[in-house]
Chains A and B, each alone.
Chain A
């Protein structure tokens, strides 16, 4: 082992007890060696601190969805709309107890998220980080809207439940690279979301005038 390798092995806890004791005896006798050990320990601490915050962040929904996509023969099975709401409680929390996940299928979309603001305010043609696709009413009369969020890399369907938007289904999504500023959101809507729309929609999708009117009335059911 070279001098540097021995020093590293000491700092990294790779020496056995005997070698460790021998190395510490040398450190006591050689201040230069002790200084090098201190520098290497400080570097290890610095590197640890640099990347530690990543562990505290909430994990994006799309990654949790990816981990739960059961794989059958290469095709990803996407939970149907109703089942998703009932069973995909995404906040499986071990390892991330710091904050509850802000966005979960079957849960309310927190008002602070850009997604909630877009669902509240945006019309189908509006530009922004979140694009609204279809707006329609479900069998219970709730307004529902499909969306694609470039920054969350997520597409889904949310329905208005009282004062909040409830996330009914969501799937990983990325804007097509060829047309980053796509206009026709519906053509981008992933099949899983379209399937959820088919299952939920009662009657026709709202046209632009109906969409605007519903928005202006705060999405209240008449």
Chain B
């Protein structure tokens, strides 16, 4: 394994988390991660040492997802099945509450348009700065903040009814 491969292995948990914000179906999300890793290795010459590997790979995943979701929309509009058991480490009422909350949030995320969901995921899930997130999405920072604002407003409105 070379340095890049090792760095990618270290990044896999975060790539999987980001993929989950894009696809509810765990196997589909992992397929997306695999595609991203394969594309990254094919285009490894484009990554410059010293720049952020996570941003670069999030951008690859974003593009893979957009390609994939275009194809998917043509095929079917069915939502991916919900995944249970994501919080199996907790007990009883606490686990149930956590699972319900997670499901409500993931449902609401799933209803956002792709561009808003990507903005929310990069900033609020992955913790990127506005500048970094805008670079991943290849848009001006003003576009990023406007998508982020609309996405957040939609999520707040969506979750207002079901909040615990």
Footprint of B on A, CB under 8 Å?
Answer: 2, 4-5, 8-9, 12, 14, 39-40, 43-44, 46-57, 59-60, 62-64, 66-71, 74, 92, 94-96, 153, 172
Contact = CB atoms under 8 A, between A and B. Distances in A.
A77 to B, nearest CB: 11
Q: Interface size for chain B: under 10, 10 to 19, 20 to 34, or 35 or more residues?
A: 35 or more
Given A47-B124, A51-B21, A74-B42, A64 B156 contact: no
Interface in B103-152: 105-106, 109, 120-121, 123-125, 129-130, 145-146, 148-149, 152
Contact of A68 (B5, B20, B30): B5
A22 B153 CA distance: 23
A39 B101 CA distance: 15
A95 B124 contact: no
Nearest to B103: A50
A51 B62 CA distance: 17
Nearest to B6: A92
A55 B105 contact: no
Interface in B1-55: 1-2, 5-6, 8-14, 16-17, 20-21, 27, 30, 33-34, 37-38, 41-42, 44
A104 to B, nearest CB: 13
Given A43-B155, A64-B12, A50 B102 contact: yes
